[in-house]
Structure 1
Amino acid sequence: MTTQTRGLLFAGTTSDAGKSLVTAAACRLFARNGIKVAPFKSQNMSNNSMVCADGSEIGRAQWLQAVAAGAEPETAMNPVLLKPGSDRRSHIVLLGQPAGTLEAGEFATGRAHLAKAAFEAYRDLASRYDVVLAEGAGSPAEVNLRGGDYVNMGLAREMGLPVVVVGDIDRGGVLAAMFGTLGLLDPADQVHLKGWIVNKFRGDLALLRPGLTTLEERTGRPVLGVVPWLTDLWLDSEDALAIAGWQHAVDATLRVAAIRFPRISNATDLDALAAEPGVEVAFTTSASELADADLVVLPGSRATMSDLAWLRSRGLDTAIAKRAAEGKPVLGICGGNQMLAAAIHDPHGIEAGGRAEGLGLLPTRVDFGVEKLLGRPTGTWRGEHVAAYEIHHGLTTLDPQQAGADDAEAFLDGFSRGAVWGTTWHGAFESDGFRRAFLTEVASRSGSPWTPEPGAPGYADRREDMLDRLADALDDAVGFQPLLDLVDGGVQA
C-alpha cells in the first residue's frame, strides 16, 4: 500500500555518480533552513561501515549524512547493509546486526523480508522527522532487479516519493544515461521522476546548455542544476570506485602506501591521514611502491584469509617482511592487523574455516568467534586520547610462545613490536593528537622530515568545512526552495 510521506529520493545514473554526497549536501542544506531532516538508504552494499552509539552497524555514507543533518545516526537510516565477502555472497546486516548471508542468485527474489524491514524503518523515520531524504543504490534503470527493488523506484512507489536523478558528467555520456534511465522505467515509475542534477562539471557551462535544453525537451523533466567539480573532497565513500579519490599532497614529505585488498573494508580509515598537511596517501598493489613508502598500511578486509592469500600470490608479503626487518614502519588495521599475526584460527567457518599462517610480524594469534564484536572504544597512546569504533569477529591476543612476545608493547587494543603496529580499532586517526603523534613516530623511524603543521585544522573541523562546501555548491546550483517544493509537491505536482 502506497504511503504519502514528506521526502525526496536521490537516485543515480550509475554507482558513484555522487548521489551520496548530493544527499549529504541536501541534508545539510535542509538542516540549515530549520528543517528536522533524516537521511535514509534502504539497502547499502558496502564494506565501509560505522558503529552507532547503541552498538549497531550502518553504512558509513549514512552516518556522514546524519552528521550533515545534525541528527543522531541510527539503524533506521540504513536498515539493510550488505557486506560483500566474495563475488557471489554478501553478509547481511539487518537493523544493525548480523543476519546471515545473501547469495547472488537470491538478489532478485530473496529479499522480501529485507524490503519489509526497510519500509518499516522508513516509516519510523518519517514519523519522527519533518523530511526524509533518501538515497538510491546503483541505478533505478536496472530493470532486471525491479521486481524485488526496495531502494530505488520500489521505495519511491511505496512511499510516494518524488525522484531526482544525479549523473556524473565527468565520466562522459551523462545526457544519454539520463535519457536512457527515463526510457527504461515503466510508466508508473516514470511519474515519480521529477528532474535531473548534473554532477562534477568543470568547464564552460555555456557549452553544456544546448545539451541540457535537449534533455529537458526530450524527457519533459527539468535540469534542476549543474553542480561543479569540487576539489579536496574525500567524504566517507561507500563505493570501491571512489577509493583513492584524494588529491596529491602539495610538497608531501611523508608518503603512505595502503594495500588495496580485493575485499578491502573501512578504507575511510585512511581519510584522516590523507587530510593531514604534508602527508600523501595512495592505494597500491605494487611491491616497489611499498618499498618506497614511509609507512605501509594493511587496512581492513571483509575476507582476511582470502585477502592474505591474495597478498602472498602477488609477493607483497615478501615486501612487507623486508620492510619490517629493516625497521621501516608497517601498520595493520582490523583485518590487516589479523594478517600480521603468527596464525589465524577459524574453527567455526566464519570466513574460510581452518587455520592459516599469518605474516608473523607480530607475536599474536587470531581466533574467529561466532559473535561479531561491535563497539565504540576509547583509549590513549603516548598520552593522546583516542576515540574509535570496532567491527570484527576475530579476537587478537598475544601468543607467549611466539618469538619476540616479551618485546611486544601495547598499542591501542593491539600490540606493536619495533616498527610494526596492529589494532582492530577503526577511525582512530580521526583523533587529531593521536594521529599527529603516530605520524611523528613514523617520520622518525623512516627518516622523513615531516612534522605536524602548526595551527592545521582538526579532522572533524575539515569534515564540517567540506559538508558546508557541499551544501553551498548545491544551494548555488539548485537552491533550497526548488528542493523543498519537490518535497511539498509530492509525486503529482
Structure 2
Amino acid sequence: MKGVMIQGTASNVGKSWIATGLCRLLVCHGLAIAPFKSQNMSNNSYITRNEEEIGRAQGIQAEAAFVEATVDMNPILLKPTSDQRSEVIIHGVSQAAWTGSEYRTHWYEQGKQAIKQSVQRLEQDYDALVIEGAGSPVEVNLNDRELVNMSVADLIDVPVILVADIDRGGVFASIVGTLELLSEKHRKRVKGLIINKFRGERALFESGIEWIENYTGVPVLGVLPHLEDHGIEGEDSLTVQSTSAKREKSLDIAVIHWPYLSNETDISPLTQEQDVSIRYVRSVDQLGKPDALILPGTRSTIEDYLACEEKGLTEAIRVYAERGGVIVGICGGYQILSDVMYRHEADREGVQGIGIFPLSTTFVKNKQTIRVSGHIHEASGYSPVPMSGYEIHLGRTAGSIKYPFLQLNDEPEGISLDQGRLIGTYLHDCFHNDGWRTEWLNRLRRKSGLSEQVMIDTSDRDERYERLAKHLETYLNTEKIIKMIEESAP
C-alpha cells in the first residue's frame, strides 16, 4: 500500500502534529488519505462513531483527512494504569492490564495480527496512509518485538521521514545518532528529514542543513518554524504545559495534574480564551487561591487520589471548596470528589474520597465508552443550553442527586451544587461546548471584577487543520513528499 511513515528522534518532537498536517495537505492534493498508528500509548482517548476507543491523535488526524475515524486507524491502544502496567485495547476492545514484559510475551503475536488486519481493511478504502511512529525507532532493548516503528514500515513497505526537534538542542547528534543505530536495511528506509520547532534566522542554519545532508546522505525536506497556538491537541501529557496570561488581568484557573492524568484535552478550549490563564498543580504549595479549580480525568482514580492525599493536596481541595471555591470535576475528578470509592462491587470498605459530593463510586469490569448529547439540566443553576461530548469510564457514581448537572440521552447526569459552584460530571469535552463554557467563565469574571466576554467559537477545528496544512506546504518540499508516496507502492 502507498504511504509515508513519520518517525522521530525522540518523543514529543512533533510527529503527531506533522502527521495531522500532512493528512490535510495530502487530501488537498487529491489523495484519499487515512491516518494510521499501529500502537499508541496514551491516556488521551477518542470515541469513534461506533463508540469504540482509539488514541486521540488518530481521531484528530482522521478529522483532518475528512474521514470517519475507525479502530483500524489505531488497532492497539495502551493506556498506562501505573508505572509498569497498561490496559491493552485491541480494535477498540479492552483485553486486560499487563506489564511490559507480559505484553511482549502474551500479546505480541495477537497485536501483530491485529495490525495486519487493519492495514488490509484500510487498503480497500484509501489511496495511501500517513503513518505515525512512536518515541524513537532505535530503542535497541525493545526492537526485537516492537510493533510501531520500523517493523510497521517493513510490513507496509513505506518510506520513512525522520523528525528532529531543534528547540531542545542537540539536533545534529539526535539525527546522526538515530541513523547510526538503525540497521543498514532500516537506514535505507529513511528518505528524508524534517527539522521541527525552529526559532531564529533560517539563513544562519543553512550551513547546518548542508552538513546534515553531506554527513548522512539524507535530504532535509524542510525546516518548520516553531508554531505557537496552533490549536492542535497533543497526543499525551508530554504536551501539557501551563499557559501564561494573555492580558494583564486574567482569570486564574488551576488544574490538578494527577500522576496518571487522562484526557487533558478537555481543558484545551480554555486556553483559547484571551483572559484565561491555565496552570497545572501537583502540590499544595502550588494551589494558591485560583478563581476556579478543575479536577480532570485520571486513568487510575484511587491510586491518584491516594498519591495526592499523601501530599496533603486532597485536604487542600476540600478546604478550598468549603471556603467558597469554584470546582469542576470531570470523570475521575468527579469520582474523587465523592464520599467513597469502592474498588469493585464486592468491596465493603472502600476508599474515602474528598467528600464534596454525597455520592459513592463503584468500579466495575465493563467500560462505558459512548458519545452523548443533550442539554444543561434545568436544576443545575445554568441556562439549559445544548451539550455534547463523550464518556469513558469504569466507575458508576450514585447517590441522592437533587440537582443534576446535565440531561443526556434523556437521563440526568452529574451533579451541580450551590447553583453550579460545584460541578461533577462524566462528560468529556464539556468545555468544548461554547455556550455553557462562556456562561461559566462570565460568572467567574463577574466575581473577580473582570469584564464579561462574548462567546468565542472553539469548534473551528477545520480552520486549524487548514492553517497547519498551509504551514507545512510553505516550509516543506511537498512535491518530493508526494513523489515519495507515489513511488512507495509495491
TM-score bracket relative to the smaller structure: over 0.9
User: Aligned partner of 1:459: which letter?
Assistant: T
Query: Where in structure 2 are the equivalents of 1:463-474 lying within 5 Å?
Result: 463-474=461-472
CA 164–332 in structure 1, closer or farther in 2 if over 3 Å, else same: same
- Give the secondary-structure state (helix, strand or coil) at the position aligned to 2:424: strand
Which position in structure 2 is the counterpart of 1:99? 95
Which of 329, 332, 337 is equivalent to 2:334? 337
Amino acid at match of 1:488: E
SS of 1:476 mapped into structure 2: helix
- Please tell me whether the aligned partners of residues 232 and 247 of structure 1 are also in contact (alpha carbons under 8 angstroms): no
Contact 2:7 2:163 in 1 (8 A): yes
Question: Is contact 1:298-1:332 (8 Å) kept?
Answer: yes
1:487 Cα deviation after fit: 0.4
Q: Deviations over 1:151-210 (max 9, x none)?
A: 110000111110000111101111211111111111111121111000000111122121
Q: Deviations over 1:105-155 (max 9, x none)?
A: 235444221121012212211221011100000011112211112211000
Q: Give the AA of the match of 2:43.
A: N
Output the CA distance in 2 between the equivalents of 1:131 and 1:246.
37
**Contact map agreement 1:277 1:453 (CA 8 A) in 2:** no
SS of the equivalent of 2:357 reads coil
Inter-partner Cα distance in structure 2 for 1:379 and 1:442: 24
How far apart are the structure 2 equivalents of 1:57 and 1:120?
A: 17
Name the TM-score, length of structure 2 as normaliser.
Answer: 0.93
- What one-letter code is carried by the residue in structure 2 that aligns with 1:284? V
Aligned partner of 1:268 in structure 2 is 265
- The CA deviation at 1:477 is 1.1
Displacement, 1:442? Answer: 3.6
Distance 1:291 1:376, change over 3 A: same
Question: Would the alpha carbon gap of residues 377 and 16 (structure 1) be closer, same or farther in structure 2, given more than 3 Å must change?
Answer: same
Q: Answer with 429-438 or 241-250: which moved more.
A: 241-250
Matched, 1:67 2:66: no
In the alignment, structure 1 segments of 5+ residues that lack a partner are none
Q: Supply the AA of the counterpart residue of 2:119.
A: Y
2:380 aligned partner: none
- Is 2:87 aligned against 1:85? no
How far apart are residue 453 of structure 1 and its match?
3.2
Number of equivalences: 476
**Deviation of residue 354 (structure 1)?**
6.0
Q: Aligned partners of 1:252, 1:161: CA distance in 2, in Å? A: 51
Q: Who is 2:72 aligned against?
A: 76
- Shift, 1:447, TM fit: 3.1
Match of 2:141 among 137, 140, 144: 144
SS state at 1:29 partner: helix
Which one of 161, 164, 168 corresponds to residue 161 of structure 2? 164
Aligned match of 1:477: 475
Q: Distance in 1 between matches of 2:228 and 2:451?
A: 24
| Aligned residues: CA RMSD | 1.9
* Residue pairs, 1:279-294, within 5 angstroms: 279-294=276-291
The aligned residue for residue 459 of structure 2 is 460
Match of 2:439 among 437, 440, 452: 437
Distance 1:377 1:116, change over 3 A: same
Counterpart of 1:37? 33
Cα distance in 2 between the residues matched to 1:119 and 1:409: 46
Q: Which amino acid aligns with 1:383?
A: P
After TM superposition, give the deviation of residue 31 of structure 1 in Å: 1.3
1:369 matches 2:346: no
Counterpart-to-counterpart distance in 1, 2:25 and 2:477: 9
Normalised to the residue count of structure 1, the TM-score between the two structures is 0.92
- Read off the aligned partner of 2:163 and give its amino acid letter: V
Partner of 1:347: 344
Tell me the equivalent position of 1:213: 210
Shift in Å, 1:252:
4.7
Q: Distance in 2 between matches of 1:409 and 1:348?
A: 24
Shift in CA distance, 425/34, structure 1 to aligned 2, threshold 3 Å: same
- Give me the whole-angstrom Cα distance separating, in 1, the residues matched to 2:219 and 2:102: 37
Letter in 2 for 1:291: G
SS of residue in 1 equivalent to 2:197: strand
Specify the alignment match of 2:4 in structure 1. Answer: 8
Moved more, 267-276 or 234-243: 234-243
Tell me which residue corresponds to 1:128: 125
Answer whether contact 2:21 2:472 (CA < 8 A) is retained: yes
CA distance in 2, matches of 1:255, 1:122: 46
Counting aligned pairs with the same residue, the percent is 36
In 2, Cα distance between equivalents of 1:26 and 1:132: 10
